Amino acid sequence: MKMDASLHKEKKPEWLKVRLPNNPVFWDTKSLVKDLNLVTVCEEAQCPNRWECWGQGTATFMIAGEKCTRACGFCAVKTAKPDALEADEPERVAEATRRMKLNHVVITAVARDDLKDGGAEHFQHTIEAVRAENPEIIIEVLVPDFNDKDWALEMVMRARPHIFNHNLETVERLTPLVRSRAQYARSLAVLKKAKEMAGGKVATKSGIMLGLGERDEEISQAMDDLRAADVTVLTLGQYLRPTQMHLPVVDYVTPEKFEEWKEVALAKGFRHVASGPLVRSSYHAADFKPEEDVIEAIEADLAAMTP
């Protein structure tokens, strides 16, 4: 499937223009990330909100390197042969959460199809290291599909994240075009199985980009499919073309339309919806707090594991 490049809309509307703040916290965060030799998806994916988030002292840490084994048509992260995992990276991420005094952390990773477990054990170690350093922190993970290996997914869930995020990214029809080596049904299955593995005691989350040529009825169907997989948190944002080598923008969705989609999603049963042109998976992630029974169940499980 190919997309007509003539559809690309070159000029961004006013609502997508971001003012760059002169905030000392931004530079402190940037310095800390560099000092600990960490990678953030904020920079690697060219997130338009990095000035705001870093200015508030928050960041989304990208573990397992900055080179991805997949080549998705929307993503700014580089595709290349990945480097070996860094054994001390989990501790460095944990140290960053301590120094930034975070109450909520998001941990993500590139797709590591070169590894048998897809990087699942590295996720597990990072979650455990962060929790050891900061027992009260809310831990959110944004994961690849691990090539649908249940045993790899179980490694992540064994570490008991509070929020499990795996992005659907787009509607079913556009998935082969937009997502490299991914399958729409597989992503839904990953989300459903993650919740089942946690006995229902995890908040599941997913995100969809708009502006790639999807139809309204397809967006509505994707929401229904996510709800059928018991996903309760949804993010909707505008697709922005990173370079001329990436997929073209077919449509710039207005802020008013994003607000309409938010109301549709809430009516379908999502507990929390972030919907807007600049919304990304981790945007204002701390605005959503998992249900108390999820937090209590995780605390009980962790206490039972302690010798």
Per-residue pLDDT at 1:
47
Q: Fold for domain 18-305?
A: TIM Barrel (3.20.20)
Cα–Cα distances in angstroms (integers) from residue 192 to residues 23, 125, 231, in the given order: 40, 23, 8
Sheet strands side by side (includes 272-275): 60-63, 104-109, 138-142, 163-165, 203-210, 233-238, 272-275
Per-residue pLDDT at 111:
86
Flag whether pLDDT at 17 surpasses 90.
no
Query: Hey, where are the domains in the chain?
Result: 18-305
Question: What's the chain's average pLDDT?
Answer: 87
pLDDT in tens, 259-276: 999 999 999 999 999 999
Find tokens 């989304």 and name the residue: 60
What's the pLDDT band for 51 if we cut at 50, 70, 90?
Answer: low
Identity of the highest mean pLDDT range in 13-27, 161-175, 283-297: 161-175
177-182: Cβ within 8 A, 24+ apart: 177/1, 177/2, 177/3, 177/73, 177/247, 178/72, 178/73, 178/74, 178/209, 178/212, 178/247, 179/70, 179/72, 179/73, 180/70, 180/71, 180/72, 180/73, 181/70, 181/111, 181/113, 182/70, 182/72, 182/145
The b-or-e profile of 6-45 (16+ CB within 10 A means b, else e) is: eeeeeeeeeeeeeeeeeeeebeebbebbeebebbbbbbbb
Instruction: Tokens for 192, please give them.
Output: 């459903």
Mean pLDDT of 70-92: 86
Helices (runs of H) and strands (runs of E) counted in the chain: 11, 7
What's the pLDDT band for 145 if we cut at 50, 70, 90?
Answer: very high
Neighbours of 204 (CB within 10 A): 21
Per-residue pLDDT at 53:
64
pLDDT in tens, 219-244: 999 999 999 999 999 999 999 888 88
Per-residue pLDDT at 249:
93
With 0-12 / 13-18 / 19 or more C-beta atoms within 10 angstroms meaning exposed / middle / buried, residue 46 is middle
